[in-house]
Amino acid sequence: MSTQKYTIPEVQTAAVVQKTGGKVQMKHDIPVKQPDQLAPGECLLKMHCTGVCHTDLHAALGDWPVSPVTPLIGGHEGVGEIVAIGKDTADSPVKIGDRVGVKWIAYSCLNCEQCRKGLEQNCYNVKLSGYTVDGTFCQYLVSWVNCVTPIPDGIESEEAASVLCAGVTVYRALKYSQTTTHDWIVLPGAGGGLGHLAVQYAKYMGRRVIAIDGGQEKKDLCLKLGADAWIDFTQCKDITAEIKRITGGKGAHAAVVTTASSSGYSQAVDYLRDGGKLMAVGLPAKAKLEASIFFTVFKSISILGSYVGNRQDAIEALEIAAAGKVKVFYKLDSLSQLESVYDLMGQGKIAGRVVLSMRDKN
Protein backbone atom coordinates (compact mmCIF):
# COMPACT_ATOMS: atom_id res chain seq x y z
CA MET A 1 0.00 0.00 0.00
CA SER A 2 1.27 3.44 -0.84
CA THR A 3 1.84 5.93 1.92
CA GLN A 4 3.86 8.57 0.05
CA LYS A 5 1.28 11.24 0.77
CA TYR A 6 1.93 11.05 4.48
CA THR A 7 4.99 11.35 6.63
CA ILE A 8 4.38 9.23 9.66
CA PRO A 9 6.35 10.20 12.77
CA GLU A 10 7.97 7.68 15.11
CA VAL A 11 6.37 9.16 18.23
CA GLN A 12 3.26 11.12 19.01
CA THR A 13 1.39 13.02 21.71
CA ALA A 14 -1.34 11.24 23.62
CA ALA A 15 -3.32 11.78 26.82
CA VAL A 16 -2.43 8.91 29.12
CA VAL A 17 -3.80 7.75 32.46
CA GLN A 18 -1.09 5.61 34.07
CA LYS A 19 -3.34 4.05 36.68
CA THR A 20 -7.12 4.31 37.04
CA GLY A 21 -8.03 7.12 39.41
CA GLY A 22 -4.85 8.99 38.47
CA LYS A 23 -4.44 12.23 36.58
CA VAL A 24 -4.36 12.57 32.81
CA GLN A 25 -0.84 13.27 31.59
CA MET A 26 0.14 14.57 28.18
CA LYS A 27 2.92 12.31 26.89
CA HIS A 28 4.92 13.23 23.83
CA ASP A 29 6.88 10.04 23.33
CA ILE A 30 4.18 7.47 22.60
CA PRO A 31 5.31 5.20 19.73
CA VAL A 32 3.38 5.29 16.46
CA LYS A 33 2.88 1.87 14.87
CA GLN A 34 4.57 2.15 11.48
CA PRO A 35 2.83 1.09 8.23
CA ASP A 36 5.05 -1.99 7.81
CA GLN A 37 4.12 -3.09 11.35
CA LEU A 38 0.37 -3.10 10.66
CA ALA A 39 -1.26 -6.52 10.49
CA PRO A 40 -3.56 -7.37 7.57
CA GLY A 41 -6.92 -5.68 8.22
CA GLU A 42 -5.39 -2.97 10.40
CA CYS A 43 -5.20 0.66 9.39
CA LEU A 44 -3.43 3.69 10.83
CA LEU A 45 -5.40 6.89 11.34
CA LYS A 46 -4.10 10.43 11.67
CA MET A 47 -6.64 11.83 14.09
CA HIS A 48 -8.48 15.10 13.48
CA CYS A 49 -10.45 15.27 16.69
CA THR A 50 -12.20 13.31 19.41
CA GLY A 51 -15.27 13.79 21.52
CA VAL A 52 -15.13 13.41 25.30
CA CYS A 53 -17.82 11.26 26.84
CA HIS A 54 -18.85 10.37 30.39
CA THR A 55 -17.66 6.85 29.63
CA ASP A 56 -14.10 8.16 29.30
CA LEU A 57 -14.34 9.68 32.75
CA HIS A 58 -15.72 6.41 34.18
CA ALA A 59 -12.82 4.57 32.52
CA ALA A 60 -10.19 6.99 33.83
CA LEU A 61 -11.62 6.72 37.35
CA GLY A 62 -11.95 2.94 37.17
CA ASP A 63 -15.65 3.22 38.11
CA TRP A 64 -16.97 0.18 36.36
CA PRO A 65 -17.04 -3.48 37.39
CA VAL A 66 -14.72 -4.39 34.49
CA SER A 67 -11.33 -2.66 34.68
CA PRO A 68 -9.79 -0.91 31.67
CA VAL A 69 -6.25 -1.60 30.47
CA THR A 70 -3.54 0.64 31.89
CA PRO A 71 -1.69 2.75 30.99
CA LEU A 72 -4.91 3.91 29.40
CA ILE A 73 -5.30 6.09 26.32
CA GLY A 74 -9.01 6.84 26.52
CA GLY A 75 -11.46 8.19 23.98
CA HIS A 76 -13.93 6.49 21.70
CA GLU A 77 -15.54 9.02 19.43
CA GLY A 78 -12.76 10.07 17.11
CA VAL A 79 -12.46 11.10 13.50
CA GLY A 80 -9.31 10.93 11.43
CA GLU A 81 -8.00 10.03 8.01
CA ILE A 82 -6.48 6.75 6.95
CA VAL A 83 -2.75 7.20 6.35
CA ALA A 84 -1.78 3.53 6.03
CA ILE A 85 -3.37 0.11 5.62
CA GLY A 86 -1.68 -3.15 6.62
CA LYS A 87 -0.19 -4.99 3.67
CA ASP A 88 -2.05 -8.03 2.34
CA THR A 89 -5.35 -6.55 3.53
CA ALA A 90 -8.04 -8.06 1.29
CA ASP A 91 -11.25 -6.35 0.15
CA SER A 92 -10.84 -3.23 2.27
CA PRO A 93 -14.06 -1.15 2.25
CA VAL A 94 -11.95 1.98 2.90
CA LYS A 95 -8.79 3.39 1.32
CA ILE A 96 -5.88 5.65 2.20
CA GLY A 97 -7.05 9.26 2.48
CA ASP A 98 -10.62 8.35 3.54
CA ARG A 99 -12.10 10.16 6.48
CA VAL A 100 -13.34 7.61 9.02
CA GLY A 101 -14.61 7.42 12.57
CA VAL A 102 -13.68 5.23 15.51
CA LYS A 103 -16.47 4.41 17.92
CA TRP A 104 -16.74 2.65 21.30
CA ILE A 105 -16.93 -0.71 19.52
CA ALA A 106 -13.42 -0.49 18.10
CA TYR A 107 -13.50 -4.04 16.75
CA SER A 108 -16.02 -6.81 16.36
CA CYS A 109 -15.11 -10.10 14.67
CA LEU A 110 -18.16 -10.14 12.36
CA ASN A 111 -18.16 -13.94 12.56
CA CYS A 112 -19.52 -14.92 15.98
CA GLU A 113 -23.19 -15.56 16.74
CA GLN A 114 -23.79 -12.01 18.06
CA CYS A 115 -22.10 -10.43 15.06
CA ARG A 116 -24.03 -12.64 12.63
CA LYS A 117 -27.25 -11.49 14.30
CA GLY A 118 -26.27 -7.83 13.94
CA LEU A 119 -25.40 -7.38 17.62
CA GLU A 120 -21.81 -6.43 16.83
CA GLN A 121 -21.68 -4.44 20.05
CA ASN A 122 -22.06 -7.73 21.93
CA CYS A 123 -19.44 -9.57 19.86
CA TYR A 124 -17.68 -12.30 21.86
CA ASN A 125 -14.35 -10.96 20.60
CA VAL A 126 -15.15 -7.27 20.96
CA LYS A 127 -12.46 -4.65 21.55
CA LEU A 128 -13.55 -1.42 23.21
CA SER A 129 -11.95 1.84 22.21
CA GLY A 130 -10.26 3.63 25.08
CA TYR A 131 -11.01 0.72 27.40
CA THR A 132 -9.59 -2.61 26.24
CA VAL A 133 -7.53 -1.07 23.41
CA ASP A 134 -5.97 2.38 22.97
CA GLY A 135 -8.54 5.06 22.25
CA THR A 136 -8.76 8.33 20.37
CA PHE A 137 -7.00 10.75 22.76
CA CYS A 138 -3.92 10.62 20.55
CA GLN A 139 -2.55 11.80 17.22
CA TYR A 140 -2.16 8.40 15.52
CA LEU A 141 -4.39 5.41 16.16
CA VAL A 142 -4.46 1.83 14.90
CA SER A 143 -7.91 0.61 13.88
CA TRP A 144 -9.46 -2.00 11.56
CA VAL A 145 -10.64 -1.42 7.98
CA ASN A 146 -13.84 -3.42 8.53
CA CYS A 147 -14.77 -1.62 11.73
CA VAL A 148 -14.07 2.06 11.08
CA THR A 149 -17.11 4.15 10.13
CA PRO A 150 -16.86 6.03 6.82
CA ILE A 151 -17.73 9.71 7.38
CA PRO A 152 -20.02 11.10 4.67
CA ASP A 153 -19.42 14.49 3.06
CA GLY A 154 -21.51 17.29 4.48
CA ILE A 155 -20.51 16.87 8.09
CA GLU A 156 -17.45 18.31 9.82
CA SER A 157 -15.14 15.90 11.61
CA GLU A 158 -15.81 17.75 14.88
CA GLU A 159 -19.55 17.22 14.54
CA ALA A 160 -19.24 13.64 13.34
CA ALA A 161 -17.19 12.78 16.45
CA SER A 162 -20.14 13.22 18.78
CA VAL A 163 -22.52 11.41 16.44
CA LEU A 164 -20.25 8.34 16.62
CA CYS A 165 -21.07 7.74 20.27
CA ALA A 166 -23.89 9.86 21.64
CA GLY A 167 -25.67 10.06 18.29
CA VAL A 168 -25.46 6.37 17.48
CA THR A 169 -26.54 5.42 20.99
CA VAL A 170 -29.69 7.51 21.08
CA TYR A 171 -30.50 6.86 17.43
CA ARG A 172 -30.48 3.11 17.97
CA ALA A 173 -32.53 3.38 21.17
CA LEU A 174 -35.18 5.40 19.32
CA LYS A 175 -35.06 3.05 16.32
CA TYR A 176 -35.74 0.04 18.57
CA SER A 177 -38.30 1.75 20.83
CA GLN A 178 -41.23 0.23 18.92
CA THR A 179 -42.87 3.63 18.67
CA THR A 180 -44.49 5.18 15.65
CA THR A 181 -45.07 8.63 14.19
CA HIS A 182 -46.63 11.10 16.62
CA ASP A 183 -46.03 8.88 19.68
CA TRP A 184 -44.88 10.60 22.86
CA ILE A 185 -41.29 9.97 23.90
CA VAL A 186 -39.91 11.14 27.23
CA LEU A 187 -36.26 12.14 27.27
CA PRO A 188 -34.86 12.63 30.77
CA GLY A 189 -31.54 14.47 30.57
CA ALA A 190 -32.67 16.03 27.29
CA GLY A 191 -30.30 18.99 27.57
CA GLY A 192 -27.19 16.87 27.99
CA GLY A 193 -24.71 15.33 25.57
CA LEU A 194 -26.86 12.38 24.59
CA GLY A 195 -30.16 14.08 25.29
CA HIS A 196 -29.80 17.02 22.92
CA LEU A 197 -29.13 14.60 20.07
CA ALA A 198 -32.02 12.37 21.14
CA VAL A 199 -34.43 15.33 20.92
CA GLN A 200 -33.39 15.95 17.32
CA TYR A 201 -33.39 12.33 16.15
CA ALA A 202 -36.81 11.82 17.78
CA LYS A 203 -38.20 14.90 16.06
CA TYR A 204 -36.68 13.81 12.74
CA MET A 205 -38.45 10.46 13.22
CA GLY A 206 -41.75 12.27 13.76
CA ARG A 207 -42.14 11.58 17.47
CA ARG A 208 -43.45 14.06 20.03
CA VAL A 209 -40.86 14.86 22.68
CA ILE A 210 -41.22 15.60 26.36
CA ALA A 211 -37.84 16.94 27.45
CA ILE A 212 -36.86 16.69 31.10
CA ASP A 213 -33.82 18.49 32.51
CA GLY A 214 -32.93 21.33 34.84
CA GLY A 215 -32.26 25.04 34.36
CA GLN A 216 -32.94 27.81 31.87
CA GLU A 217 -30.00 27.07 29.55
CA LYS A 218 -31.10 23.48 29.01
CA LYS A 219 -34.73 24.52 28.65
CA ASP A 220 -33.82 26.99 25.90
CA LEU A 221 -31.73 24.38 24.10
CA CYS A 222 -34.46 21.69 24.22
CA LEU A 223 -37.20 24.01 23.00
CA LYS A 224 -34.97 25.39 20.26
CA LEU A 225 -34.36 21.81 19.08
CA GLY A 226 -38.08 21.20 18.78
CA ALA A 227 -39.13 19.53 22.04
CA ASP A 228 -42.94 19.63 22.28
CA ALA A 229 -43.00 19.92 26.05
CA TRP A 230 -40.50 20.81 28.77
CA ILE A 231 -40.36 19.72 32.40
CA ASP A 232 -37.83 21.23 34.79
CA PHE A 233 -37.13 18.49 37.32
CA THR A 234 -35.72 21.03 39.77
CA GLN A 235 -39.11 22.75 39.94
CA CYS A 236 -41.70 20.14 39.05
CA LYS A 237 -43.07 18.38 42.14
CA ASP A 238 -44.75 15.47 40.37
CA ILE A 239 -43.16 14.52 37.07
CA THR A 240 -45.49 11.56 36.53
CA ALA A 241 -48.57 13.75 36.93
CA GLU A 242 -47.12 16.35 34.59
CA ILE A 243 -46.38 13.76 31.88
CA LYS A 244 -49.88 12.33 32.26
CA ARG A 245 -51.30 15.85 31.89
CA ILE A 246 -49.25 16.55 28.74
CA THR A 247 -50.26 13.24 27.15
CA GLY A 248 -53.97 13.58 27.81
CA GLY A 249 -54.00 11.39 30.89
CA LYS A 250 -52.55 8.25 29.32
CA GLY A 251 -48.81 8.58 29.77
CA ALA A 252 -45.98 8.41 27.24
CA HIS A 253 -45.38 5.61 24.72
CA ALA A 254 -41.67 5.33 25.43
CA ALA A 255 -38.83 6.79 27.42
CA VAL A 256 -35.20 6.85 26.35
CA VAL A 257 -33.34 7.23 29.61
CA THR A 258 -29.80 8.50 29.22
CA THR A 259 -29.30 9.82 32.75
CA ALA A 260 -26.83 8.35 35.20
CA SER A 261 -29.25 8.27 38.16
CA SER A 262 -31.49 5.31 39.01
CA SER A 263 -34.54 7.49 39.71
CA GLY A 264 -34.77 8.34 36.03
CA TYR A 265 -35.33 4.65 35.30
CA SER A 266 -37.77 3.60 38.03
CA GLN A 267 -39.94 6.66 37.47
CA ALA A 268 -40.47 5.72 33.82
CA VAL A 269 -42.58 2.69 34.74
CA ASP A 270 -45.02 5.13 36.42
CA TYR A 271 -45.32 7.63 33.60
CA LEU A 272 -45.38 5.23 30.64
CA ARG A 273 -48.79 4.27 29.26
CA ASP A 274 -49.81 0.62 29.02
CA GLY A 275 -47.56 -1.21 26.57
CA GLY A 276 -44.88 1.46 27.02
CA LYS A 277 -41.20 0.86 26.33
CA LEU A 278 -38.43 1.88 28.67
CA MET A 279 -35.19 2.12 26.71
CA ALA A 280 -32.29 2.02 29.17
CA VAL A 281 -29.27 3.74 27.64
CA GLY A 282 -27.19 5.43 30.34
CA LEU A 283 -24.44 3.44 32.02
CA PRO A 284 -24.42 4.48 35.67
CA ALA A 285 -21.62 2.72 37.51
CA LYS A 286 -23.58 1.33 40.43
CA ALA A 287 -27.25 2.34 40.23
CA LYS A 288 -29.89 -0.41 40.33
CA LEU A 289 -33.12 -0.46 38.42
CA GLU A 290 -35.88 -0.55 41.01
CA ALA A 291 -39.01 -0.79 38.95
CA SER A 292 -42.33 -1.99 40.35
CA ILE A 293 -42.67 -5.56 39.13
CA PHE A 294 -46.43 -5.38 39.68
CA PHE A 295 -46.87 -2.38 37.40
CA THR A 296 -44.30 -3.58 34.87
CA VAL A 297 -46.44 -6.70 34.41
CA PHE A 298 -49.87 -5.10 34.90
CA LYS A 299 -49.11 -2.35 32.36
CA SER A 300 -47.27 -4.65 29.92
CA ILE A 301 -44.19 -2.44 30.15
CA SER A 302 -41.04 -3.53 28.31
CA ILE A 303 -37.68 -2.62 29.80
CA LEU A 304 -35.02 -2.88 27.12
CA GLY A 305 -31.31 -2.27 27.37
CA SER A 306 -29.91 -0.58 24.27
CA TYR A 307 -26.14 -0.56 24.05
CA VAL A 308 -24.47 1.86 21.59
CA GLY A 309 -24.99 0.57 18.04
CA ASN A 310 -23.61 -1.54 15.22
CA ARG A 311 -21.90 -0.37 12.03
CA GLN A 312 -25.21 0.14 10.24
CA ASP A 313 -26.67 2.22 13.10
CA ALA A 314 -23.54 4.41 12.95
CA ILE A 315 -23.87 4.89 9.19
CA GLU A 316 -27.56 5.82 9.47
CA ALA A 317 -27.01 8.21 12.38
CA LEU A 318 -24.22 9.96 10.45
CA GLU A 319 -26.26 10.19 7.25
CA ILE A 320 -29.12 11.89 9.09
CA ALA A 321 -26.69 14.36 10.68
CA ALA A 322 -24.86 14.96 7.37
CA ALA A 323 -28.24 15.76 5.78
CA GLY A 324 -28.51 18.61 8.27
CA LYS A 325 -31.32 17.04 10.31
CA VAL A 326 -29.31 16.82 13.51
CA LYS A 327 -26.94 19.47 14.82
CA VAL A 328 -24.33 18.74 17.41
CA PHE A 329 -23.74 21.53 19.90
CA TYR A 330 -20.18 21.23 21.02
CA LYS A 331 -17.40 23.24 22.48
CA LEU A 332 -14.04 22.87 20.77
CA ASP A 333 -10.93 22.56 22.87
CA SER A 334 -7.52 21.01 22.41
CA LEU A 335 -6.37 17.58 23.54
CA SER A 336 -4.21 19.12 26.27
CA GLN A 337 -7.38 20.39 27.97
CA LEU A 338 -8.69 16.89 28.72
CA GLU A 339 -8.02 17.07 32.47
CA SER A 340 -10.02 20.28 32.91
CA VAL A 341 -12.82 18.87 30.75
CA TYR A 342 -12.99 15.87 33.11
CA ASP A 343 -13.19 18.26 36.08
CA LEU A 344 -16.16 20.11 34.60
CA MET A 345 -17.79 16.88 33.56
CA GLY A 346 -17.46 15.48 37.07
CA GLN A 347 -19.29 18.56 38.34
CA GLY A 348 -22.04 18.14 35.74
CA LYS A 349 -21.21 21.53 34.25
CA ILE A 350 -21.05 20.61 30.57
CA ALA A 351 -24.05 21.35 28.33
CA GLY A 352 -23.84 19.60 24.97
CA ARG A 353 -20.54 17.97 24.02
CA VAL A 354 -16.87 18.77 24.22
CA VAL A 355 -14.68 17.96 21.23
CA LEU A 356 -10.88 18.07 21.40
CA SER A 357 -8.89 18.93 18.33
CA MET A 358 -5.63 17.23 17.42
CA ARG A 359 -5.05 19.45 14.41
CA ASP A 360 -3.31 22.18 16.36
CA LYS A 361 -0.26 21.86 18.55
CA ASN A 362 -1.01 20.30 21.92
Helix, strand, coil percentages in the chain from 3-state DSSP, rounded to 5: 30, 25, 45
- In terms of CB distance, is 93 or 275 closer to Zn ion? 93
CB contact at 8 A, 166 and 51:
yes
CB contact at 8 A, 137 and 356:
yes
Q: Which of the 8 DSSP states describes residue 12?
A: E
CB contact at 8 A, 83 and 60:
no
- Which of 15, 16, 53, 227 lies at the binding interface for Zn ion (CB under 5 A)? 53
Task: Supply the minimum distance, in Å, between the C-beta of residue 120 and Zn ion.
Answer: 7
CB contact at 8 A, 117 and 109:
no
Task: Supply the minimum distance, in Å, between the C-beta of residue 313 and Zn ion.
Answer: 14
For residue 79, state whether it binds Zn ion (rule: CB under 5 A): no
For residue 164, state whether it binds Zn ion (rule: CB under 5 A): no
- In terms of CB distance, is 47 or 165 closer to Zn ion? 165
The phi, psi pair for 81, rounded to 5°, reads -120, 150
CB contact at 8 A, 335 and 362:
yes
Closest CA to 185 of 260, 279, 262: 279
Task: Supply the minimum distance, in Å, between the C-beta of residue 25 and Zn ion.
Answer: 22
Task: Supply the minimum distance, in Å, between the C-beta of residue 248 and Zn ion.
Answer: 36
Q: Which CA distances in Å does 324 have to 230, 317, 327, 353?
A: 24, 11, 7, 18
Task: Supply the minimum distance, in Å, between the C-beta of residue 114 and Zn ion.
Answer: 6
For residue 112, state whether it binds Zn ion (rule: CB under 5 A): yes
Q: Which residues pair with 78 in a beta bridge?
A: 50, 102
- Of residues 120 through 139, those in contact with Zn ion by CB under 5 A are 123
For residue 109, state whether it binds Zn ion (rule: CB under 5 A): yes
- Which of 165, 227, 279, 320 lies at the binding interface for Zn ion (CB under 5 A)? 165
CA 192 to chain centre: 12
Could you give the CA distance from residue 211 to residue 185 in angstroms, rounded to a whole number? 9
Task: Supply the minimum distance, in Å, between the C-beta of residue 115 and Zn ion.
Answer: 3
For residue 55, state whether it binds Zn ion (rule: CB under 5 A): yes
- In terms of CB distance, is 112 or 303 closer to Zn ion? 112
The residue count for binding Zn ion (CB under 5 A) is 8
For residue 256, state whether it binds Zn ion (rule: CB under 5 A): no
Could you give the CA distance from residue 5 to residue 46 in angstroms, rounded to a whole number? 12
Task: Supply the minimum distance, in Å, between the C-beta of residue 167 and Zn ion.
Answer: 10
- In terms of CB distance, is 62 or 226 closer to Zn ion? 62
For residue 119, state whether it binds Zn ion (rule: CB under 5 A): no
Q: Which residues bind Zn ion (CB under 5 A)?
A: 53, 55, 108-109, 112, 115, 123, 165
